[in-house]
Structures are given as C-alpha cells and as structure tokens.
Amino acid sequence: MAKANKNAEVAEMTVAEKLKALYELQMVDTAIDKIRILRGELPLEVEDLEDEIAGLQTRVSKYNDDIENLEKSINGKKQEIANAQELIKKYQEQQNNVRNNREYDSLSKEIEFQALEIELCEKRIREFSAQIDDKKVVIDESTTILEERKLDLENKKKELEDIVEETRKEEDVMEKKSAELEEIIEERLLTAYKKIRGNARNGLAVVPVERDSCGGCFNKIPPQRQLDIASRKKIIVCEYCGRILVDSQISEENA
C-alpha cells in the first residue's frame, strides 16, 4: 500500500518538479561526496606520517646498531694493539739473550711486523671513529625530523578526530535528506540518475546549463535545446556526456 501511495504521488509530479527534485538530490549527494573526500584525505596523511615515522625509527635504530658494532670493532683493534705491544716487549727482551745475528734479525722483523700491525689498527680506529661521528650526525638529524613528524602526526590525528566527529553529524543529516528525496523520485529516473552518477568521474549526474554550455562536459548547447530545457516539459540529457540538464534558474533556486 505504501509503495502504491508513493507511485501515485510521484505520478502526480510535473516534469519541472521532477527536475527540481533531481537537482536538489544532486546537490545533497555532492555535499556528501565532499564530506567523504575531506575525511578520506586525512587518514591517508596520517598513514603517510606513520610510515615516515616508522622509517625514521628504523633508520635511527640501524645507525645505533652500526655505532655499537663500530665501537666493538674499535675495542677489538685496541686489544690487538695491546697484544702487539706485549709481543714487541717480549721480542725485545728475547733480543737481549740471542746467540747470533740471525736470531736477532728474526726478532727485529717480528718487532717491525707488530709495529706495522699497531699502525694498521690505529688507522682502522680512526676510520671507525670517523664513521661513528658521521652516523651520529645522521642520528641527530633524523631524531629532530622524527620529533617533528610525531608532533605533526599528533596534530593530524586530532584534526581527523575532530573532522570525523563534526562531519559525521552533517553526513547523517545529508544522507537522511538524500533518502527522503529519493522517495519522491520515480524509480526509472532514480535508476538513471544513479547510473550516470556512477559513471561520472566527479559524481555529477544532473548539471545546469551555464554560459550556453553543459555544466558537466562544457560542450555548447544549441539555442533551441536550451529553450526546451528551460521549458521543463521533458527530461533532456546532454548529447555529449549523457548528464541530465536543467536550466540555470533551477540551480539558482537551490544555491
């Protein structure tokens, strides 16, 4: 019975009333789209910041691990130096008790070799220390950026929470209004509207004629066709993009 009543009410609507209802529905659905787009961008920004923060934390952690390994390497080289110094001392003492020049020269070569080992270890220590200094600079820079990004993330999350809370109420109101308008539009027109809207990149299925052109694809509308549109006696679609066309006065009434 309710459906029959709806069909009877819809059947009584003039074409002008149908066009006005369609355009109003378009305005409401466009407002809902804008709310969802606004809300849709912020979660992506939050996600990007979270990914950047995770990357910076991984970088700092890796560089700290590198510094720890370099410090271990430095300590290892220092131990090698200490061992070499002990050997030099040992060989020097042995030189005092040699029986011939051959033994003395052999020990001298060992002392010389250990001295070279010490020089090599000292060189490696300087290299490792320079690497540590470079990595500490990167850590400091990354830590500064990390703290900035954490603050940005905190602000973005708060902004997102506020917008979600604020827009949820507005969206609920708009969705209710959209549903009410759909109730007074005949099924055939509503199906066509949703199909056109689904195929349109910007979600516009009903557009006004603006500056003698289609408000959707901006192609010129012939003068006679504009008169037909303005008469509001039949549903007219753009021959280029297929959108439903209304005269500019309807858009002004709903502005």
- Under the banding of pLDDT at 50, 70 and 90, the label for residue 184 is very high
Q: Convert the pLDDT of each residue in 8-18 to its tens digit.
A: 456 588 999 99
Residues forming a β-bridge with 214: 209
Q: What is the mean pLDDT of residues 227-233?
A: 94
Q: Convert the pLDDT of each residue in 90-138 to its tens digit.
A: 999 999 988 899 999 999 999 999 999 999 999 999 999 999 999 999 9
Which residue segments constitute the domains of the chain, with CATH numbers given?
39-169 (1.10.287.1490)
Sign of CA dihedral 79, 83, 86, 92: negative
Note the pLDDT of residue 4. 46
* Between 166 and 225, the higher pLDDT residue: 225
Residues forming a β-bridge with 80: none
Q: What is the mean pLDDT of residues 205-221?
A: 95
- Under the banding of pLDDT at 50, 70 and 90, the label for residue 211 is very high
Q: Convert the pLDDT of each residue in 138-177 to its tens digit.
A: 999 999 999 999 999 999 999 888 888 888 888 899 999 9
pTM over 0.75: no
Percentage of the chain modeled with pLDDT above 90: 79
Note the pLDDT of residue 253. 76
Q: What is the mean pLDDT of residues 171-189?
A: 94
Q: What is the mean pLDDT of residues 226-251?
A: 93
76-87: b (≥16 Cβ within 10 Å) or e: ebeebbeebeeb
* Rg of the chain (C-alpha set): 40
**137 residue type, one letter:** V
- Write down the H helix ranges in the chain: 2-12, 15-95, 101-183, 187-199, 223-231, 248-253
Note the pLDDT of residue 11. 58
Nearest CA among 218, 215, 221 for reference residue 23: 215
- Under the banding of pLDDT at 50, 70 and 90, the label for residue 201 is confident
Which two structure tokens, joined as six digits, stand for 161? Answer: 């929470």
Note the pLDDT of residue 9. 54
Strand order in 206-210's β-sheet?
213-214, 206-210, 244-246, 236-237
Looking from the CA of 54 toward its CB, the CA atoms found within 13 Å total 6
- What is the rounded distance in angstroms from the CA atom of residue 67 to the CA atom of residue 217? 61
